[in-house]
Structure 1
Amino acid sequence: MPAPQFSVRSGAVGTVLALVVALLLTGAPGPASGASAYQVWTAASKTLVVRGTPVTISGSVGPSAAGHTVVLQQYAGRWTSVASAKLSSTSHYSFRKAVPLGSTAFRVTKAASSTRAAGTSKVVRVVGVKPGFSSVTSGPGHTCALKYDHTLWCFGSNFDGQLGLGTTKEVPSLRRIGTSSWLWVKAGWFNTCGVRTDRTMWCTGHNEDGGAIAGPGRDAYHFTQMGTRHDWAEVTPGSYGGCGRTTGQVALCWGKGWHGADGTDTWTPYPVAYANWLRVASGPRGDAQGCGIRLGDLLWCFHENSSLEPSPYVLDSSRWASLESGYGQSCGLHTAKSLWCWGDSTYGQSGPGPTSDTPQHVAAGSWRNASAGYQFSCGVRSDGTAWCWGSNEYGKLGTGSYSPATSHTPLQVGSWTTWAVVDAGYDSACGIRTDGALFCWGMVTAPGEVADPDLPAPTHNHPVRMG
């Protein structure tokens, strides 16, 4: 019997979508008796489909099978028949189904006949994801965001190649960057780094001291792989270098001021002392210092010392859940969801107290997100409201007003209660609502605006939708 073919294609665009072919190993639902009668071919190029996308599941059983019935089954705790069709004169079948949210398994079965044995195709898993954006990050003049389908989108300044397009031309509106799939992206000092779905790290843009590629002095205009590791979880680039963390909870740093085993600047990621790092962050300026959360939830920081080795020390013995470093200040959340910042507070960016090297409580209440930017910080409370504090230059506190000029206490961004995450950048901030919509405020060019390339970008003191 010739090997049948089985594929899933988008009903809208006719391109292959979102397949992970399960080989029915441990934990996977088993095939029916006679599965060896079917062999499955698939040309999957992606692993995710946006929820609600209609897909066409099609294939063929072989010659001389016209008129026989095949059944499409879907797995939801058990296999359930959801559609049936008779094979065409060419033994072809086709089913059209809308993909729900989450992982869905499909298979096609054929009952036995007088001339053919029963058969079941291998399982195809289609992962339905939410539409819209899942994360956002902003640097000086440029913003990048990831969608739930792992695609990368950016806009803004590009004079150092920080958007990875191979040019230095500014991109005024959201544009997809390449065709790769990404798990993490972080904007640094006129550069951008990220982790692809194969767990490799890639950087582009400003590289004065090794912040974007291995070795200083030459900017990168395309995303260039940093090292050869395939186990990256997160990275934070800067002007002089950066730091990151692996899936094995190892912290590594690179660039000017970060020294390797021979005591000289290391242009490839070099491990920081100790193990079990749960989070790692270094500031966008990347001046050979960083902080992280280790197993036990204690807050540690590290920097170069006289022995030229990164020197971790406990900064705070409270239990920490998240951390982000900005341009002179850092912010984070305790496991109890309280909000704390430390560092420069000239403009109120670290909260109500003065500049301090120890974390200070910013505001009462329960918080789900905290972000440190340039002279200001932002966060999202557990009730879905967004708040910013610090400098209000360019309206980057997002209150709908350019005054007050500074605030040491959080001010609410608009009136929505549906914010998922907010990121404080340099001259602007961006946030994502729970429906996946992306908004920005401060010095940004809104969709439809015509910006003069010889002048700074327009300013907006309230959130404007970007995508």
Structure 2
Amino acid sequence: MLKDGEVYCWGRNETGELGDGSKVSKTQPVKIALPGGLTAIDVSANGRSAGSYSARTCAVLKNGTVACWGENVLTPTLVGQLANIKSISVGGGHVCAVDVVGGALYCWGRNQSGQVGIGDTFFVQFPTKIASVSDVVKVSAGSTHTCALQMGGKVFCWGRNFNGQLGLGDTTDRLTPTAVSALSGVTNIQIGDSHTCSLGSTGLHCWGSNQVGSLGINSYIDASTPQFVSLLGAQRIDLGYGNTGATVDGALWMWGNNASGQLGNGNQTNQPKPIVNNLTGVSSLAFSVSTSCALMDTGEILCWGNNTYGQFGNGTTASSFTPTPLVWP
């Protein structure tokens, strides 16, 4: 998405997740036509590869409605029953959106682990209000778990908890939002595949799956409670499928899964603690299954890791272990 609200997509497109009316992968950005010619204020995309591959993209439009595409819907299509939405997060098979009115939370989609948060494990076809949590300022949806940040810095998590990714001190799934009592003063929450991280007044904390060093605590042991990450001054965070990144004064630090070179340090060795990347002037981060991208202060976009489907947006499918510039058509 560009700062003027136009949406561009590129990369894998097997289920129409790019929204250009086809199922053909694109190696360069393609402008997507949104309903009513509207622009977007927020965009999120995710998918799942367990079983049959599927992926979805959703955008919050300027008028507060939501359009989604993918999962064999080839162009942006309005989601009924939603209005006044300010932000959205797409998980592996479910979606959650935050309403501007009272911070109400709506979720729908796959729910086999209770990740929708309505108290059962049945598929939820339509956006459903999660009545047990309000005053939500941010929601983050992972593969099979979800976390919400409440006004005032309180965190709630629910869904799959096999690796302790809910931060509740155990590995029991939760079917409704449950407060993470160990956290307070949180300002940002982000979910990866099976791990979670938060930023706040007490610093950076991560928990959940850690077999590839995703938590940044210099070990490979899972943690079911928030663990302090020794990276002072972290400002922005993003999580992928086992990899984690944070910025400190615009400099990029990364750790965890590096099987596809997604840490951007020139090799494929997993890292259990933060290591500095050579990038400075990083404005924001976006990580997928095996590809990492950064938006720079200059407006340039750099990507690294796996590029099999053209995820770099540079017109090729050549992968790289170091940051590579996107090329606008």
TM range (shorter): 0.7 to 0.9
**Distance in 2 (alpha carbons) for counterparts of 1:324 and 1:409:** 18
Q: State the structure with bigger RCO (CA 8 A, min sep 6), 1 or 2.
A: 2
Q: 2:80 aligns with which of 227, 240, 254?
A: 227
Answer yes or no: is 1:422 the counterpart of 2:290. no
Matched, 1:155 2:10: yes
Which among 261, 270, 280 is matched to residue 406 of structure 1?
270
- Tell me the distance in 2 between the aligned counterparts of 1:328 and 1:251: 22
Q: Residue in 2 aligned with 1:32? A: none
C-alpha separation between the residues in 1 aligned to 2:214 and 2:288? 12
How large is the Cα RMSD of the aligned pairs? 2.4
- Alignment match, 1:177: 32
CA distance in 1, matches of 2:252, 2:314: 25
Q: Which amino acid aligns with 1:197?
A: K
Residue matched to 2:236: 369
The CA distance in 1 between the partners of 2:149 and 2:313, in whole Å, is 38
Give the Cα–Cα distance (whole angstroms) in 1 for the partners of residues 208 and 29 of structure 2. 33
Which one of the candidate residues 150, 157, 163 is aligned to 1:301? 157
The aligned counterpart of 2:296 is 433
Contact 1:332 1:371 (8 Å CA) reproduced: no
1:379 equivalent in structure 2: 246
Q: What does 1:53-452 correspond to in 2, within 5 Å?
A: 146-178=1-33, 180-189=38-47, 190-206=55-71, 219-248=72-101, 249-257=103-111, 258=116, 265-272=123-130, 273-283=132-142, 285=143, 287=144, 289-303=145-159, 310-335=176-201, 338-352=203-217, 353=219, 354-381=221-248, 383-399=249-265, 401-403=266-268, 405-414=269-278, 416-444=279-307, 445=310, 450=316
Moved more, 220-229 or 384-393: 220-229
Deviations 1:148-177 (A, max 9, x none): 111111110101100011110111111211
**Is there any run of 5+ residues in structure 2 with no aligned partner, and where?**
48-54, 161-171
Taking the aligned partners of 1:379 and 1:261, their CA distance within structure 2 comes to 33
Residues 157 and 297 (structure 1 numbering): CA distance in 2 closer, same or farther, change over 3 Å? same
Distance in 2, matches of 1:261 and 1:280, equals: 18
TM-score, normalising length: structure 1: 0.59
Could you tell me how far apart the structure 2 residues matched to 1:436 and 1:407 are? Answer: 28
Tell me the CA shift for residue 459 of structure 1. 1.5
How far apart are 1:303 and its partner, in Å? 3.7
Once the two structures are superposed, residues 15-69 of structure 1 have per-residue CA deviations (whole angstroms, 9 ceiling, x without a partner) of: xxxxxxxxxxxxxxxxxxxxxxxxxxxxxxxxxxxxxxxxxxxxxxxxxxxxxxx
**What amino acid is the match of 1:361?**
F
Question: CA 1:427–1:233 in structure 2 vs 1: closer, same or farther (change >3 Å)?
Answer: same
Residue 259 of structure 1 and its aligned partner are, at CA, apart by: 7.2
Pair 1:261–1:172, CA change in 2 (3 A):
same
Q: Per-residue deviation at 1:433?
A: 0.8
3-state SS, counterpart of residue 286 of structure 2: strand
Residues 85-128 of structure 1 show CA distances to partners (whole Å, capped at 9, x for unaligned) of xxxxxxxxxxxxxxxxxxxxxxxxxxxxxxxxxxxxxxxxxxxx
Whether 1:464 and 2:319 are equivalent positions in the alignment is no
- Alpha-carbon separation, structure 2, partners of 1:165 and 1:276: 35
CA offsets, 1:170-201, max 9 Å, x none? 11111211254110001110211110111111
Quote how far apart the aligned CAs of 1:331 are.
1.6
**Residues 448, 439 of structure 1: alpha-carbon distance in 2 compared, 3 angstrom cutoff:** closer
**Counterparts in 2 of 1:181 and 1:385: CA distance versus 1, 3 Å:** same
In structure 2, distance between residues paired with 1:158 and 1:239 = 15
The structural deviation recorded for 1:449 is: 5.1
In the alignment, the residues of structure 2 paired with residue 327 and residue 261 of structure 1 have an alpha-carbon distance, to the nearest angstrom, of: 22
1:393 alignment partner, SS class: coil
Q: Is the 8 A contact 1:329 1:350 kept in 2?
A: yes
Pick closer, same or farther for the CA change 1:331–1:262 going to 2, 3 Å.
closer
Quick one: which amino acid aligns to residue 232 of structure 2? G
1:328 deviation in Å? 0.5
What is the CA–CA distance in structure 1 between the aligned matches of 2:192 and 2:314, rounded to whole Å?
30
Q: Find the structure with the greater CA-based Rg.
A: 1
Task: Report if aligned partners of 1:324, 1:330 keep a CA contact under 8 Å in 2.
Answer: yes
CA distance in 2, matches of 1:294, 1:163: 31
Contact persistence 2:155–2:184 (CA under 8 A): yes
- Size of the alignment, in residue pairs? 295
Measure the CA separation in 1 of the matches of 2:315 and 2:67: 32
Say whether the 8 Å CA contact 1:154–1:163 is kept in structure 2: yes
- CA shift, 1:296, in A, is 2.0
Alpha-carbon deviation of 1:309?
6.2
Measured after TM superposition, the shift of residue 262 of structure 1 is 10
Q: What's the % identity of the aligned pairs?
A: 22
Query: Within 1, Cα distance between the matches of 2:212 and 2:197?
Result: 15
